[in-house]
Structure 1
Amino acid sequence: MRYAGLTWDHPRGHDALAASAGDLVHWDVQPLEGFESHPVDALCARYDLVVIDHPHLGDAVATGCLRPLDELFAPRELARWGADSVGPTMRSYAMAGRQWALPLDAATQVAATRTDLAGEAPATWDEVRRLAHRAPVALSLAGPHAFLTFASIAVAMGEEPAADPEELISHGTGRAVLDLMTAIDSLAPPESRSLNPIGLLELMAGTDRLAHCPLVYGYVTYADRVAFTDAPAVSPGGRPGSTLGGTGLALSTRCAPTAELLDHMRWLMSPDAQREFLPRHHGQPSARAAWADPAIAGVDFYRRTSTTCEQAWVRPRHAGYVAFQTAASATVREALAGRTDHGEALDRMRAQYRASRTPEGRRT
């Protein structure tokens, strides 16, 4: 039997899966933005295996399109993979008492720097602000990333968004975050504002028009041209504020998994695959042992960003969250462009979040 799988169109998302699948799985690809633009239930209607982002779990569980993996794998296996995974990657795919995906790939927002243009990466947000006055610095603002950057800075300031399920963030922290983002963005290269993380890293790696991005999802495939370090903190030694990314491997309800397919998934989570096969095929493993392995390709990337990944913030995963994330990002961009007062923008974001948790909000 040959299964149909869908992943994302980047060597990090595709190459290791395709190289290891043989005749078992045929992997199609979608653009990175497809995670936001295509409802997960529509994708699951067409594919047996789907690489997903954890914030889509709420919508997926609400529509009943994923097969819970705790029905297919033993509790001891799931517990071992969870204990072995870096940061909150495994638990980000657990919801409503079930495990819905395996953490195939680990990533979080970290700092990216061209040290020949900027010097050593700034460790604090005050240092980022000062650097922006002497070198080109950009925030990641395209698509959902405007809100993710907002959230990560809030974490660094000591407040995790949505800690109260009914309230996004306090007024004081929210205003401080928008003020800081505006100060940095007002000096940014204009072309950077429309670029997704891959576009920002391409601009940094291929030109001299971007020296530093304090928060961008890390890609080990750029580590030979860009220096990756932990995300900034508010004060030296403080928590590096970051929002967890990465991807998980899920099975749709249309999938009838054979023992061969389940064994293949076990192998993808194995030490051999995580420490050797995935890195050799442009993958970014989720196993903590791989991140700590001095022999792994891109070892400096993992060593210099592991603290951030271990402490990354996990986004809400209720049905309706993804639509909120899109709307809130548009609101952040309006505020940074000066088209909306910061207080008004914050009130709108808080209202958007509360609405996303209502039955009406889940249908938008």
Structure 2
Amino acid sequence: MFMHLKGITWNHTRGKLPVLATAQRYMEMHPGVTIDWQARSLKEFGDAPIDILAQDYDLIILDHPWMGFAAENKILLPLEHFLEPEFLADQKANSVGKSFQSYNYTHQYALAIDAACPIAFYSNEKLKADNASLPTTWSEVIDLAKRGKVYCGGNGTSILMQFYMLLATKTDEKLFVDGIIADKEIQKESLLEIQELFSYLPNCVFSKNPIGVYEVLASPKTEYYYCPCDFGYSNYSRVGYSSNLITSANVVKYNGKMLKTTLGGAGFAISNKCKNIELALDYLKYTASGEIQQSIYVENGGQPGHRSAWTNSRANELTNSFFNNTLETLDNAYLRPRYDGYLSFQETAGPLIRDWIMNEGNVDELIDNIHDLFIYSI
């Protein structure tokens, strides 16, 4: 009997190759099964409507802020109704930070097969050539930026994640509560700190996402070598992936506390339109299992969501200790909102802050406008 599954992931080595590899091996072990993975862009991964994807695909690799929308519109299978409690318990126990939790919104709508958040990363070769040491505090990051050695993403999403990072650190994650994002003075202070950082960076950063930042740091043609906070990609810490090996690190401290960056990653969900549910569930379990996450998945460019892979010696040998070097930052990461409507706020608030930095606008007006966007989104 022939059975077919069609999946959609995102178009980067980290998003595409590991699921192609798990599908290939699964098909070899299950003659008669075909699994076809297609890919969308990184931007579409964040904002392409999943209700439309669920009409065309059985398997969806998605971002956790979609969970509120998924719950409201009943788009995805509630996995706790189909998977064994023991398997889900293992997934929860081996979560990297709040990754497992991030896909639970009234139901467990996905499993974390990929874990990420903004981390620090740098070119050790350029660092040594500059006879410099890594910054350990936010003020030291600013000092390094003044010297023209810092580069980080300035697109809307990256800047918004920096805003969240400072707010979450200062408020101990008490954000988006009782109709306000955070105390207005804390917001103002944080925005001005982000503005100061970007005042020392070149204007070209405003078109860069995390992948673009990695490419700049890895290039031997630039003097930039340190990024204080942008989404981590273990691929650039692998020999041969880029012209300059990138080393990962935990983020610095702010007023004595490690910065709380914002959780990212990717979840594996199954559309409620899927016709071969048992097959889809079995393949999901295979891909998300600790055994596969620390072998086929990570060995083919993946950034696993199962904690056993992050502490696995082979995985760290492959990635210049990417996982060991950043696990503390992942465990400390802030889980952003996931309510139905949140993504409209994220898609508009980030570019608003970006434009304010670029055009040196009024910070109080910006805070009022961000608040209005938040109220509208809920």
Bin of the TM-score, shorter chain as denominator length: over 0.9
Q: TM-score, normalised by structure 2?
A: 0.90
Tell me, in whole angstroms, the C-alpha distance in 2 between the residues paired with 1:254 and 1:227. Answer: 42
Secondary structure at 1:250 match in 2: strand
Tell me, in whole angstroms, the C-alpha distance in 2 between the residues paired with 1:77 and 1:92. Answer: 17
The reply to whether residue 109 of structure 1 matches residue 122 of structure 2 is: no
| Equivalent position of 2:368 in the other structure | 347
Tell me, in whole angstroms, the C-alpha distance in 2 between the residues paired with 1:42 and 1:261. Answer: 19
- Bigger Cα displacement from structure 2, 64-73 vs 103-112: 64-73
| Equivalent position of 2:53 in the other structure | 43
Alignment of 1:206-355 (within 5 A): 206=219, 207-224=221-238, 225-236=245-256, 238-296=257-315, 297-298=318-319, 300-355=321-376
Structure 1 pair 257/231, CA: closer, same or farther in 2 (3 Å)?
farther
| Equivalent position of 2:75 in the other structure | 65
Secondary structure at 1:337 match in 2: helix
Which residue type is aligned with residue 253 of structure 1? Answer: N
Tell me, in whole angstroms, the C-alpha distance in 2 between the residues paired with 1:279 and 1:344. Answer: 45
Alignment of 1:116-155 (within 5 A): 116-118=125-127, 119-155=132-168
- Structure 1 stretches lacking a partner, 5+ long: 358-364
Which of 17, 20, 25 is equivalent to 1:18?
20
Which residue type is aligned with residue 105 of structure 1? Answer: D
The reply to whether residue 170 of structure 1 matches residue 183 of structure 2 is: yes
Residue 22 of structure 2 contacts residue 297 of structure 2 at CA under 8 Å; is this kept in 1? Answer: no
Deviations for 1:181-240, whole angstroms, at most 9, x for unmatched residues? 11110111221210111111111112424322211111110014112111222034x132
Tell me, in whole angstroms, the C-alpha distance in 1 between the residues paired with 2:137 and 2:35. Answer: 45
Structure 1 pair 263/299, CA: closer, same or farther in 2 (3 Å)?
farther
Residue 90 of structure 1 contacts residue 102 of structure 1 at CA under 8 Å; is this kept in 2? Answer: yes
Percent identity of equivalent pairs: 29
Structure 1 pair 82/7, CA: closer, same or farther in 2 (3 Å)?
same
Tell me, in whole angstroms, the C-alpha distance in 2 between the residues paired with 1:345 and 1:323. Answer: 17
| Equivalent position of 2:216 in the other structure | 203
Residue 155 of structure 1 contacts residue 161 of structure 1 at CA under 8 Å; is this kept in 2? Answer: yes
Residue 242 of structure 1 contacts residue 308 of structure 1 at CA under 8 Å; is this kept in 2? Answer: yes
Shift of 1:140: 2.1
Which residue type is aligned with residue 103 of structure 1? Answer: A
Residue 153 of structure 2 contacts residue 212 of structure 2 at CA under 8 Å; is this kept in 1? Answer: no
| Equivalent position of 2:9 in the other structure | 7
| Equivalent position of 1:89 in the other structure | 99
Which residue type is aligned with residue 88 of structure 1? Answer: K
Secondary structure at 1:144 match in 2: helix
| Equivalent position of 1:186 in the other structure | 199
Secondary structure at 2:96 match in 1: coil
Aligned-residue CA RMSD in angstroms?
1.7
Residue 138 of structure 1 contacts residue 184 of structure 1 at CA under 8 Å; is this kept in 2? Answer: no
Secondary structure at 1:25 match in 2: strand
Residue 178 of structure 1 contacts residue 335 of structure 1 at CA under 8 Å; is this kept in 2? Answer: no
Shift of 1:133: 0.9
Secondary structure at 2:361 match in 1: coil
**Corresponding pairs, count:** 355
Structure 1 pair 259/39, CA: closer, same or farther in 2 (3 Å)?
closer
Structure 1 pair 220/158, CA: closer, same or farther in 2 (3 Å)?
same
Runs of 4+ in 1 over 6 A off after TM superposition: none
- Bigger Cα displacement from structure 2, 312-321 vs 205-214: 205-214
Residue 108 of structure 1 contacts residue 218 of structure 1 at CA under 8 Å; is this kept in 2? Answer: yes
Tell me, in whole angstroms, the C-alpha distance in 2 between the residues paired with 1:120 and 1:86. Answer: 29
Secondary structure at 1:86 match in 2: coil
Deviations for 1:38-76, whole angstroms, at most 9, x for unmatched residues? 211111111111000000111222222111111111222
| Equivalent position of 1:361 in the other structure | none
Shift of 1:165: 4.5
Shift of 1:152: 1.1
Tell me, in whole angstroms, the C-alpha distance in 1 between the residues paired with 2:236 and 2:197. Answer: 24
Residue 117 of structure 2 contacts residue 265 of structure 2 at CA under 8 Å; is this kept in 1? Answer: yes
Q: TM-score, normalised by structure 1?
A: 0.93
Structure 1 pair 132/339, CA: closer, same or farther in 2 (3 Å)?
closer
- Bigger Cα displacement from structure 2, 180-189 vs 154-163: 154-163
Shift of 1:261: 2.8
Which of 77, 87, 92 is equivalent to 1:77?
87
Structure 1 pair 304/186, CA: closer, same or farther in 2 (3 Å)?
same
